[in-house]
Amino acid sequence: MSPNSPEKQSSADVPVAASPQQGPVSQWLNEQGFDHDVLDADHLGVEQIGVEALFLQVIAAALKSNGFDYLQCQGGYDEGPGKRLVCFYQFVAMAELIDGKRDTLREVRLKVFLSREGEPSLPSLYGLFRGADWQERETFDMFGIHFEGHPHPKRLLMPEDWTGWPLRKDYVQPDFYEMQDAY
């Protein structure tokens, strides 16, 4: 038996995944007492933070009070059939940059992981960021994630009577869709 065979490896030989590094926004959230998950930064180094759906509005409001005054992007994606749906929010501190208080743009991305079973839902951020209006509607339309408290909770891209959520990876496209007579 070779010393490198699996039977002889010690636990010191097994690589351990490094835990994500806590960024400045995560540290600030900890100081404020907000529970969250530290996620790996994205490929550009943008800090990513996982939050529970129940705390999304509170954490988004806290970020807004800390200078993150612009919801740059909101969207969703599907991790795969039988896996979770993910809703993400990209916030930037735009006023700091415009006012000359900083040389670089501060940005952070919140992610909420949802079960695809039943009707996944989140509180709407429309009350905090008006720009969430069409973005949340598009995420509902494509992934079936409901945004509680949204003032216009209806489809944006697909016809109102469309069945299913086209960007879910387990979506089966209908053979044909009969267009209603508009007149």
pLDDT: which is higher, 9 or 104: 104
pLDDT of residue 175: 72
Report the alpha-carbon distance of residue 159 to residue 74 in Å, rounded: 22
Average pLDDT over residues 166-171: 94
Output the six-digit token pair for 179: 């267009």
Which of 159, 125, 153, 127 is closest to 140 using CA atoms? 153
Dihedral angle, C-alpha 129, 131, 51, 96, nearest 10 °: -70
Q: Is 42 left (phi over 0), alpha (psi -120 to 50) or beta?
A: beta
pLDDT of residue 11: 56
**pLDDT category, 161, cuts 50, 70, 90?**
confident
Decide if pLDDT at 56 tops 60.
yes
Indicate the DSSP class of residue 116.
S
CATH architecture of 20-148: 2-Layer Sandwich (3.30)
**Which residue has 């016809």 as its token pair?**
159
Indicate the DSSP class of residue 61.
H
**pLDDT category, 17, cuts 50, 70, 90?**
low
pLDDT of residue 8: 53
**pLDDT category, 3, cuts 50, 70, 90?**
very low
Q: What pairs with residue 78 in β-bridges?
A: 85
Report the alpha-carbon distance of residue 67 to residue 71 in Å, rounded: 11
Average pLDDT over residues 74-87: 96
Digit-coded pLDDT (tens) for 19-50: 888 999 999 999 999 999 999 999 999 999 99
pLDDT of residue 18: 73
Average pLDDT over residues 125-152: 96
In what helix (H) or strand (E) does residue 143 lie, and over which residues does it extend? helix 132-143
Express as a percent the part of the chain with pLDDT over 70.
Answer: 86
Query: Of 49-63, 89-103, 168-182, which has the strongest mean pLDDT?
Result: 49-63
Q: What does pTM read for this prediction?
A: 0.84
Mean pLDDT, rounded, of the chain:
89
